Structure 1
Amino acid sequence: MTSRDPFHPDTPALIDPSDPRRRTLLKAAAAGVASFAAGTLLPSQQARAQAPASGKTLRIGFQKYGNFVVLKARGTLEKRLAAQGVSVQWLEFPAGPQLLEGLNAGAVDVGTVGETPPIFAQAAGVDFVYLGNEPPAPKAEAIVVPHDSPIRSVVALRGKKVALNRGSNVHFLLVKALQQAGLSYTDIQPVYLTPADARAAFVQNSIDAWVIWDPYLAAVERQANARVIVNGEGLVRNTQYYVAARKFADTQPQLLRELLAELDQVDRWSRDHIPAVASQLSPLVGLDAPTLELALNRSSFGVQPIDAATLDYQQQIADTFSELKLIPKKLIVSDAKWRAA
């Protein structure tokens, strides 16, 4: 998911923030969501966004880890959809906020993100729907410090520099961990960095702590001897969601059902074959199999429909960020529920 990022060693330069396709997000958001809009499309994705979506192509946004990568590697979705004359296009993004911006720009039909990016996206006016979710995986994200750091608890983060990818799933973990420790968000110095930049800052000791998810978490534990001071257990669910552009979901419900069914099959196979999945992912993500096994054993498997309890949980996240003024308005999360015909 050394200071070199093993997940994105050759990531091209990002497009200029003045790109006119970004104005919708920037106008819709105040300071809190402006950082969400700061994530940008890679050049290859920019080019694809300029072309109209083909009714014969399913464009999937993914991050370089997780069951979408397994699904891509196995090729079973392509085989399933070929009989219907549908091809599959895979578009890689560094994190959830950038993926949702790609969806907003028209480059992506469907993707997978953590629990917090959809909140920032909805606040910024991105028109998407929740399709389904994985079961919670609270151990798969954590706040880590260097192994020789004097910081032993969240309380000790007062006044410290804490890195995170703003608007990502770990943003909510940080907020909840601070609350449990009796601290407010203003008691720390948040440093908003992408995972690659945060990893470099962490190993160079220019930040005090890093809030991060697997497999970046597993990698920094094994490669840099990072020490976990708290993970998501008892604090957050760390739920992974499948989302789609609302217009695409409204016009292609059967295609999305096919995708979710294939995902569920791959998910359940992965749950029972973790060593094989780790070996398959290793050359694709640039991490050794033992590191990936550590991450996969903290993952969850099995696609579930969005239910009332899940929407209530997302509403809690939205309300929390609204109260902290990290998003500019209150949200009704259920507005983004997929109501398939």
Structure 2
Amino acid sequence: MAKRKVQFISLLALLIVAGILIGVFTVWKPYQAKTEKPSVINVAINGSLSPLNIVKDKGWLDEELKKYNVTVAWSEFPSGPPLLEALAAKRVDLSFLGDGAALSGQSSGLPFINIALISDGKSLNSLLVHENSEIQTIADLKGKTIAVAKGTTSHVFLLKVLVKNGLTEKDVSLVNLQLQEGLPAFTSGKVDAWVTIEPYPIQLVLQKEARVLAGAEQGILAPATVIARTEFANNHPELVEVYLSVFKRAADYANANKEEVAQLFSELKKIPSEVISEFLNKQNYTIGPVSEDAIEAQQASADLLFENDFIKKKITFTDYVDNAIVKKIK
């Protein structure tokens, strides 16, 4: 009996040790895989005209990543919300987002961080009405139909404009339309107003199809940030640094070669080159650390979105900012 008990205890001890070893190796192997360099990185262009369009056209990122035996898989999205869906599925490693998408994504717990600031967004958004519209003030929007892509920087801009002028989202009728849907809806008269980003306001004003009811004069910041999927940034900071360096190269190139870039953007977006030229003349592309002003603006936007039930969880924006890599870029 004693002998059987000893045998049983010995067998139990052996099973426990085996279980521990299996557990160790089960944990260890994925960790090893995560630290290996990827063969492909996923870079997404988000709607608007940006230095990333130049990077892709020139092949600069592909060229730099050859040194690491890494290639680029490009994708393009009309706005931030659909891009976030791809990021959640690990189909986006690096991109950029406007304030609305960044805040709603982080409130939803999506795993990404803000690693650089590319614009304060002060001149990005405009609220347009028809050229011959009877709407003359923000107060006149009460009861009107407004097209906007919900969850985007334009949505946040609209909320702030309404609040600033004593209205709320409940005072108007919102129609959720992406850029490519909002343009025909507005020009055909199906909606009373449209909140959108440049260069569409410039185009429609030049064509005398719209006038700006609210824009840069509102003084509303709409910071746009470069974002990285958290796991990717933690495991491959050297690749993130390459991405940021190439982004800066493209930003500098755009500022110095506006005529050439206008032609490129015109071909990409099927927008007249004179419209793009006016847009670029007002634009100065930059990249740098996420500033205190941007952080303050983002926190105010996050609080506003929470108060309006657009995001379900309060966030502290600084928890999602990491300027360490961009500070290395010269």
Which residue number corresponds to residue 19 of structure 2? none
The equivalent position to 1:55 in structure 2, one of 38, 46, 61, is 38
Q: Distance in 1 between matches of 2:290 and 2:180?
A: 31
Say whether 1:267 aligns with 2:251: yes
The equivalent position to 2:71 in structure 1, one of 67, 72, 87, is 87
Q: 5+ unaligned residues in a row in structure 1: which ranges? A: 1-52
Q: CA deviation at 1:137?
A: 3.5
User: Between Structure 1 and Structure 2, whose CA radius of gyration is higher?
Assistant: 2
Q: CA deviation at 1:298?
A: 3.3
Q: CA deviation at 1:337?
A: 1.8
**Aligned residue pair count:** 289
Which residue number corresponds to residue 68 of structure 1? 52
Say whether 1:137 aligns with 2:125: no
Mapped contact 1:110–1:242 kept (Cα < 8 A):
yes
- Partner letter of residue 287 of structure 1? I
- Partner letter of residue 278 of structure 1? A
Q: CA deviation at 1:223?
A: 4.2
Q: Which consecutive segments of 4 or more residues in structure 1 shift more than 4 A?
A: none
Q: CA deviation at 1:274?
A: 1.5
Which residue number corresponds to residue 231 of structure 1? 215
Which residue number corresponds to residue 315 of structure 2? 331
Q: CA deviation at 1:335?
A: 2.1
Q: CA deviation at 1:135?
A: 3.0
Which residue number corresponds to residue 8 of structure 1? none
Q: Distance in 1 between matches of 2:218 and 2:167?
A: 17
Q: Distance in 2 between matches of 1:113 and 1:339?
A: 16
Question: 1:54/1:159 Cα in 2 relative to 1: closer, same or farther (>3 Å)?
Answer: farther
1:149-205 Cα distance to aligned partner (Å, 9 max, x none):
111121111111111000100112111111222212211111111112211211121
Q: Could you say which structure has the higher helix fraction?
A: 2
Say whether 1:199 aligns with 2:199: no
Which residue number corresponds to residue 165 of structure 2? 181
Q: Distance in 2 between matches of 1:104 and 1:224?
A: 41
- Partner letter of residue 284 of structure 1? L
Structure 1 segment 103-118 matched on structure 2, within 5 A = 103-118=87-102
Select between 89-98 and 183-192 the one with higher mean Cα deviation.
183-192
Which residue number corresponds to residue 122 of structure 1? 106
Q: Aligned with 2:157: secondary structure?
A: helix
Mapped contact 2:295–2:317 kept (Cα < 8 A):
yes
Q: CA deviation at 1:306?
A: 1.9
1:265-287 Cα distance to aligned partner (Å, 9 max, x none):
21012112222110122212211
Question: 1:147/1:339 Cα in 2 relative to 1: closer, same or farther (>3 Å)?
Answer: closer
Q: Distance in 1 between matches of 2:283 and 2:204?
A: 17
Mapped contact 2:45–2:95 kept (Cα < 8 A):
yes
- Partner letter of residue 225 of structure 1? E
Which residue number corresponds to residue 164 of structure 1? 148
Select between 219-228 and 104-113 the one with higher mean Cα deviation.
219-228
- Partner letter of residue 56 of structure 1? S
Mapped contact 1:249–1:338 kept (Cα < 8 A):
no
- Partner letter of residue 231 of structure 2? K
Which residue number corresponds to residue 31 of structure 2? none
Q: CA deviation at 1:261?
A: 1.1
Mapped contact 1:136–1:300 kept (Cα < 8 A):
no
Q: CA deviation at 1:340?
A: 5.0
Which residue number corresponds to residue 252 of structure 1? 236
Q: Distance in 2 between matches of 1:108 and 1:88?
A: 11
Say whether 1:102 aligns with 2:86: yes
Q: Distance in 1 between matches of 2:40 and 2:76?
A: 16
Structure 1 segment 1-20 matched on structure 2, within 5 A = none
- Partner letter of residue 81 of structure 2? P
Q: Distance in 2 between matches of 1:256 and 1:313?
A: 25
Mapped contact 2:201–2:212 kept (Cα < 8 A):
no
Question: 1:54/1:207 Cα in 2 relative to 1: closer, same or farther (>3 Å)?
Answer: farther
Q: Distance in 2 between matches of 1:54 and 1:226?
A: 50
Select between 210-219 and 146-155 the one with higher mean Cα deviation.
210-219
Q: CA deviation at 1:325?
A: 1.4
Which residue number corresponds to residue 306 of structure 1? 290
- Partner letter of residue 180 of structure 1? K
Quick one: percent identity of the two aligned structures?
A: 26
Mapped contact 2:290–2:323 kept (Cα < 8 A):
no
- Partner letter of residue 315 of structure 1? Q
Root-mean-square deviation over aligned CA pairs: 1.9
1:56-109 Cα distance to aligned partner (Å, 9 max, x none):
212101035211111111112221221221211110111111112211111110
Q: Aligned with 1:61: secondary structure?
A: strand
